[in-house]
A = this chain, B = another copy of it.
Amino acid sequence: MGMQSIALSGVSERRRGLAQEKMTENGVFSRDKVLTIDTMNPTVKNVEYAVRGPIVQRAIQIEKELREGVKKPFTEVIKANIGDAHAMGQQPITFFRQVLALCSYPELLNENMFPEDAKNRARRILQACGGGSVGAYSASQGIDCVRQDVARYIERRDGGVPCDPDNVYLTTGASDGIVTMLKLLVCGEGASRTGVMISIPQYPLYSAALAELGAVQVNYYLNEEKCWSMDLSELERSLAEARKHCNPKALCIINPGNPTGQVQSRQCIEDVIRFAAKERLFLMADEVYQDNVYAEGCQFHSFKKVLFELGPEYSDNVELASFHSTSKCYMGECGFRGGYMEVINMDPEVQAQLSKLVSVRLCPPVPGQALMDLVVNSPQPGEPSHTTFMKERTATLSLLAEKAKLTEQILNTVPGITCNPVQGAMYSFPNISLPEKSIKEAKALGQAPDMFYCMKLLEETGICLVPGSGFGQKDGTYHFRMTILPPTDKLKILLAKVKEFHQKFTQQYS
């Protein structure tokens, strides 16, 4: 060890008043780290994200063990933990991928293997890109013509309610938009810390973002007895409670619901908007499953449309941000990280701050922007790709509707499992009765009882679900979230295995 290290050691000890170096086996001094679990940002430590949490880590490990020839009571891991449609075999929409290939390698525009409408879309997107390349940065808010197409899509969807492209921001998936909006909203310390109301059960992006931003998570419970609907009285209770210790400023809704698969009624949305207006809450509507509606009598109503139908008292006042994505619906293109958000009634000064904030990260991925454009500007009747597009879209959505029904039906045949209809989105979130003994055993292990259950399910059957505790649930109730995405044959196997496991588990711990 040279002079340098001796000097160094001296400095360190003086500074921190304790020895920071120790001799390792090979004679090298090893120092304490600068960045340790004790010195790191504590808000990051509070972040949890169950959808990719310990159970998924273990599933990946088990897959590795299987590949290495380790004997298990099953031959493959079936993952129903995440809404990752393509990974579960859903096929991409041909038209979308043709246009993306054309945008990536414009030489293909000279080939006659692509339909004219695909070429036209690609040309239009490329023309809007710097230097005609998807490799150029776009405007930070997103490519102009894509935002215009989004605006027209929203207008069509909402029966003509106007949409200004200047209020549309393209994003890196919906998550990016949601986190950006929360970032604008959150501030304060102690009793004036910003509170954000989120449903319980919730999608854990919300709790994770709020933890990271140091905001107060204000829980309101969905009504499981009424198919996970929102109760006005529960919103009131939650808000009144929260006002005692923080400053609630925003209310988040996921509709169709994740993890709960419900589709909120028009009446319910109206109630929520009136509540937000009365209580002065900024509304955040996560509507990424807007095309995933399966149950008869259910229909998607955008918060924006209902807001405008309530008249200018509301449509001129209530602040709303709504979110969409390329990752769900019939597209399932998660890997492209495309999305948009629309802001309504945002204070112009705040909106200028939003525009500045998004500029720091330069721009959302341009291929994802291109894909978002195709979603909102899909082949029209008369265009060469229209028939195939409609066939593919309908096939995917019908299959999802079938699997939603199948999941609900089979789960409800299991004694001790109660499953609400999967009205929309891609998930069921059944209630599971757990025997007292299993709850005690889980607690002795320091595990949530439904984590204990799901971990055992994984080890014994290879099925990967996410415990309800990762999304939040009423105390004393237990759930799991499973996606309806596996191919029908695998979904049937999965459901049969869950049924068998649940019966065995109940017996074992009774």
Contacts and interface: CB of A to CB of B under 8 A. Distances in A.
Interface of A: 1-2, 4-5, 7-8, 11-12, 15, 24, 26, 28-31, 33-37, 39-45, 47-49, 52-53, 82, 84-90, 92, 97-98, 100-102, 104-105, 108, 111, 113, 129-131, 133-138, 140, 172-173, 175-176, 179, 183-187, 204-205, 208-209, 212, 249-250, 274, 277-282, 312-313, 316-317, 319, 331-337, 345-347, 349-350, 353, 356-357, 359-368
B86 A8 contact: no
A336 B360 contact: no
B131 A89 contact: yes
A187 B46 CA distance: 13
Instruction: Indicate the member of A100, A129, A319, A367 with the most B CB atoms within 10 Å.
Output: A367
B111 A105 contact: no
A117 to B, nearest CB: 15
Contacts of A204: 360
Contact of A336 (B33, B208, B278, B365): B365
A33 B350 contact: yes
Contacts of A29: 313, 317
B335 A129 contact: yes
Contacts of A82: 137
Contacts of A40: 184-185, 187, 350, 353
A86 B131 contact: yes
B104 A100 contact: yes
A465 B185 CA distance: 33
B135 A332 contact: yes
Contact of A172 (B39, B337, B350): B337
B92 A133 contact: yes
Contacts of A102: 101
A151 B332 CA distance: 30
Contacts of A333: 135
Given A101-B105, A366-B336, A353 B312 contact: no
A312 B136 contact: no
Contact of A176 (B209, B356, B357, B361): B361
Contacts of A90: 131
> Ordered nearest first, which 5 A-B pairs have the shortest CB separation?
A87-B130, A335-B366, A101-B105, A86-B133, A52-B359
A35 B347 contact: yes
A52 B45 CA distance: 33
A43 B84 CA distance: 35
Contacts of A15: 280
B34 A319 contact: yes
A107 to B, nearest CB: 8
Contact of A84 (B11, B35, B136): B136
Nearest to A338: B365
A173 B362 contact: yes
A88 B133 CA distance: 10
B183 A44 contact: yes
Contacts of A137: 82, 84, 87, 334-335
Nearest to A367: B367
A365 B362 contact: no
A334 B136 contact: yes
A363 B316 CA distance: 37
Given A34-B281, A172-B172, A336-B366, 15 more contacts: A4-B313, A28-B313, A31-B317, A33-B347, A42-B187, A52-B359, A82-B137, A85-B135, A86-B131, A101-B102, A104-B367, A172-B337, A172-B365, A173-B362, A335-B366
Given A28-B316, A86-B130, A105-B97, A41 B135 contact: no
A339 B331 CA distance: 26
